Each structure stands twice: as structure tokens, then as C-alpha cells.
Structure 1
């Protein structure tokens, strides 16, 4: 028997002997004969508890089978790994107090970031409790921290035009037009192939969050510049957007972000523009022009209408216009 097993037997016998009178040596001998069938490993205080590690892996595997995006899974894995490094306990022994203390270790983080950490923990422990792998959910009574409700940033029509005029290549212009016209997320555009584009209907189907497919649409301007870009290529790569140098291959998400950042730098909007801003701009400008919010929700791929509602902030000029148009005199 290994040393860890011997230590465990000594601790068990010592504990029992304090409760009831026993023959210590005889009890140790009998327990030793039982323990020879098992391999015991002592969990050191500085080590992550193997039970917690195992349950994190089970959780991630289950969520992967449910179709969660790899980016979401990576986020869960990172947050749960940080938590496990701080709270070295069995999952069933973790309390609400443990989680509060853990979240309190990040005083310099924004409340929104702390909220993301709590969201990951709520997902994890909620799943464990639902699967009956723990007796209770220690996060059940923990409320997300209050955060500032800021409106999503969007470009004005003038800034959008400035961004367009700053494009120096047909590929750069295609980036801007396709992102703005479709309102797609970066990952959705990055995964598109040329064959996904229906040039007749000016549309394409993308795979969004939760592995859900939806149809999005191209404007005449987007289609025009996309065709110019595709005609300029002399490769046989299936991806819609590819690298500029050989060997031609699908452009990564980081590569697309870098391209858009270069365009914004050309017109002095570097601090304001990133890929997601074009999605915000699509939503804000279309809703300000009177688009049906349910239709925009479908195009954006929002499962919750309140997410789309955040963009429905009309300008002072439009409010004045609507007042004049609909006020009954």
C-alpha cells in the first residue's frame, strides 16, 4: 500500500477511536487488507481538486455536444480553470461564500467582466445540479453585479461613408460592404464560402450562435463590390475571404479584424471602429429608418427581442419628424 493510503487509514482510525472504544492495531490491519484493493492519492492543498477538474471536463463535453461555439467553450474553459485554481475543493463542497470570495479577488475588473465570470459559474453549477452531480447549486442565490447600461456604439452615416472612402483595395471595400449589409458577426462571415452566396437572390445563409442557421441579405452596393473582389482573385480556395499572399487560404478572424483596423486607421476612426461596430451600425441605422424590429431581430440572429431593442434608439431629428407626422391636431 502507498504512503497516502497509510496516512488515510491512520486518520480514519484516529477519528473512530475518539468516538467509540476500538482495538487500534486490529482495526488498522483490517482496513489495510481492504485498502490493498485501491490506489489512494492525497490531494495537496496547492493542487486543483481532481473531482472539480473531472466535472469541468464533463460540463464542457456536454456543452460541446449541445452545439455551443468553440469560442464560447474556450471562454467557459478559461473562467472555470481560473476558478478551480483559486477554490481547491470538491464540487459538492463549494459554497456560495467560496464563490463570493473568489469574485472579490478581482477589484480592478469592470463589473461587466465580473458578471461574465459569475455567468460561467452559474452555467457550470446549474448544469451540475440539473444532472444531480451535486446536491445543490451554490450560485442559485447569487445575483449578477449591476453594470452600466451603455448603448451599443454605431457609426453615423457620415462616418460610414468616410470608412468606405478610406478603402484602398477591392478586398477592403468588400469587407466593409458585406459586414455592413448583412449585419453578421465576425465568426459568421469568416466561415462563409463563395458557394454560400446566392447572387440571384442577393442573400446567403450563415451559421450563428447555438449552431442556428439563418438567411441574411446583401445590398446592391455590397454585391457589386463583392463581385469585383472575387473577379480579382486567381485562386481556387473555397473561402469567401482569403489571404493576400500564397498559399491562399481562409482568412482568420484575427486577420479580418486587422484588415478592418487598418481601414479605420486610414480615416482617423481607429479608436471607434472594429468589426462588431459595423453590426451595430446596421442595426441602428435600419431601425432608425423605420425597419420592423422583428425582421431585424431575425436578420441579426437574436433569440431575445430585448437584445435587438437596445438598438432602437432614434435620433432627435427623427423623433421630431415622427411627432409632427403623427400628432393629431
Structure 2
């Protein structure tokens, strides 16, 4: 089996069998392409079915010279997935990476904003500009519903169930979930829809897209990043923030105020509770307060 054919089959498997999103599939494929490039550079004639653990260890040794431990671990994880697929399809009897350990990496805690910092960012949006109301509604939704930026820009008007106090969100792998939405969040979305959006020249195909750019088309991820970065600069916020910071802050503030971890998991759309558990490490002071307040032997 040639690498090219194996990659095509693997990509189809990730899409159809595992239901992964386009960006996730692209990253998995890139991990294997790095290995293929290494084999080509060193003129190593091995196929996906014959490559050995020793050659893979040589590849990882070369990778370690230029990449940090987190990036190394990412590539090893991607290759393990690829060879697990090869075993699953009976192309191989073994996964040559089973005995290769990933480098130890520390758990990276997410950056968060305080409630005061979030209020300061939103209050400094220039509402005199046409995009002001849109930007306020977007940031309120990022923080109020804990959305990923891709979920925000993909939000449809038909996804808004305001009478039931929910919005329908399409997350990774096109998995859908319902997330509660507050009255204040609904208020700002309605202001944007009724006072700004109706005046846009909406392009064909974007009639149902909630947040639009001035040309009447869907916003890009980069545009939302730029909006957040410019606001942070405007208020002199010395933190490296992104749209995802609002999602982290949403989860952290819910946890700090006593929300159940399972409920947070459902709202964030995490498949595994272990992904959500990272927020348990963000504010140890809060956890100590919970212990002192609720444990019988305080």
C-alpha cells in the first residue's frame, strides 16, 4: 500500500467513521505527511504496512530537535491514530508506536478574564459605529453561552429558540447541542437584528446567518480574533487573549459560582468530562473555599 492511497482512505475514515471536523482531519493528515517528508528526505523506502518502530523512533528523534514537547506529543498522538487505523483495517498486525512514549508535558491551564475585565472590554465597544451593536452581541454570546469562535460565526437565526431560552449550537464534528441563553444576551442579539442587520445588503446563501460582515456575508474567524485583540489593546489589557478566552472564562466563572461540572461539560459540548476537568485547576483558592464551607470536618 502506498502512502498516498493510505492517506486518502484514512481521511475518509476520519470523516465518515469518526465524524471529525475538516480542521481536525487536516491536522491528523499533516502528522502523517511530516513522516512521509522525513522518509523522502532520508530516501527510506518503507510503506505504511512495513515501516518499523526503529524508523519511527529515528523520525521522532529528528522531530525533537526542532519542536517543543507539546508539538512532539501532538505528532506522536496523530501517528498512533493513523497506525491504529491501519490495524483496524487489517493492513497491519501491530501499531509500531505502541511502545513509544510521548514526552512529558505540563498541563496548560487556559487563560481567563475576570468579570470586571469582560465588562470593561464590552463597555469599550464603540456603539456609534455600525458594527458596534454586532460586536457587543457577539462578545456577549461568546461569554454568555461559552461558544467556540467557529460555533459563533456559524450561528443561524433559525438556531435561536428565545421563547425556550435556548440556542442550538453546531460544534465539532457537526454535533449539535442546546445551550441556555440569558435575557441580557437575547436583548443584545435582538438589538443587533432589529437595528443593524436588517439594513445590510445580505448576500445569497447568508440569509439565515446571524452575524454578518458589512458586505452581508458570514464573518471569518480571523475577523473575530481581530475584534477581540483591538478591544484588549484599547483598554490596555496586558493579557494574550482570543475569542476562546471568553469560553474559558464562561466555564471558570460558572465553576467558581458553584455550577455542576457535568452541566458545564454539556454546555461546552465536551465529549469527555476529563476535558472539562481542566477548569478544576484554574482557581485552587475557590476549591479551598468550597472544602471549608461544605466539608463536615471543617
- TM superposition score category, shorter chain reference: 0.7 to 0.9
Q: Return the alpha-carbon distance in structure 1 between the equivalents of residues 150 and 220 of structure 2.
A: 9
Equivalent residue pairs, number: 278
Aligned to 2:15: 64
* 2:250 is equivalent to residue 287 of structure 1: no
Q: Return the alpha-carbon distance in structure 1 between the equivalents of residues 237 and 57 of structure 2.
A: 40
Q: Aligned-pair distance for 1:131?
A: 0.5
Q: Return the alpha-carbon distance in structure 1 between the equivalents of residues 182 and 35 of structure 2.
A: 46
Q: Aligned-pair distance for 1:317?
A: 5.8
Aligned to 2:129: none
Q: Aligned-pair distance for 1:81?
A: 1.6
- 1:61-210 matches, cutoff 5 A: 61-66=12-17, 67-88=19-40, 89-106=46-63, 107-168=65-126, 169-210=132-173
Query: Relative contact order: is structure 1 or structure 2 higher (C-alpha 8 Å, sep ≥ 6)?
Result: 2
Output one character per residue of 1:76-129: Cα deviation in whole Å (capped at 9) or x when no partner. 222222211112421122112222221222323221111111111111111011
Query: Which of 284, 292, 297 lines up with 1:323 in the alignment?
Result: 292
Contact 2:252/2:279, CA 8 A, preserved across alignment: yes
Change (3 A) 1:53 1:165: same
Q: Return the alpha-carbon distance in structure 2 between the equivalents of residues 118 and 270 of structure 1.
A: 34
Q: Return the alpha-carbon distance in structure 1 between the equivalents of residues 293 and 5 of structure 2.
A: 64
Q: Aligned-pair distance for 1:316?
A: 2.4
Over the residues paired in the alignment, what is the CA RMSD in angstroms?
Answer: 2.0
Q: Aligned-pair distance for 1:144?
A: 2.0
Query: Which of 230, 251, 262 lines up with 1:262 in the alignment?
Result: 230
Contact 2:157/2:210, CA 8 A, preserved across alignment: yes
Q: Aligned-pair distance for 1:327?
A: 5.0
Q: Return the alpha-carbon distance in structure 1 between the equivalents of residues 69 and 229 of structure 2.
A: 27
* 2:192 is equivalent to residue 240 of structure 1: no
Q: Return the alpha-carbon distance in structure 1 between the equivalents of residues 25 and 114 of structure 2.
A: 34
Aligned to 2:244: 276
Structure 2 unaligned spans of 5+: 41-45, 127-131
Q: Aligned-pair distance for 1:325?
A: 5.8
Change (3 A) 1:130 1:326: closer
Superposed structure 1 runs of 4+ greater than 4 Å apart: 324-329
Query: Which of 176, 191, 206 lines up with 1:228 in the alignment?
Result: 191
SS of the residue 2:280 aligns to: coil
Contact 1:170/1:229, CA 8 A, preserved across alignment: yes
Q: Return the alpha-carbon distance in structure 1 between the equivalents of residues 246 and 163 of structure 2.
A: 24
- TM-score (normalizing by structure 2): 0.87
- TM-score (normalizing by structure 1): 0.79
SS of the residue 1:163 aligns to: helix
Change (3 A) 1:299 1:130: same
Change (3 A) 1:324 1:52: closer
Q: Aligned-pair distance for 1:322?
A: 5.1
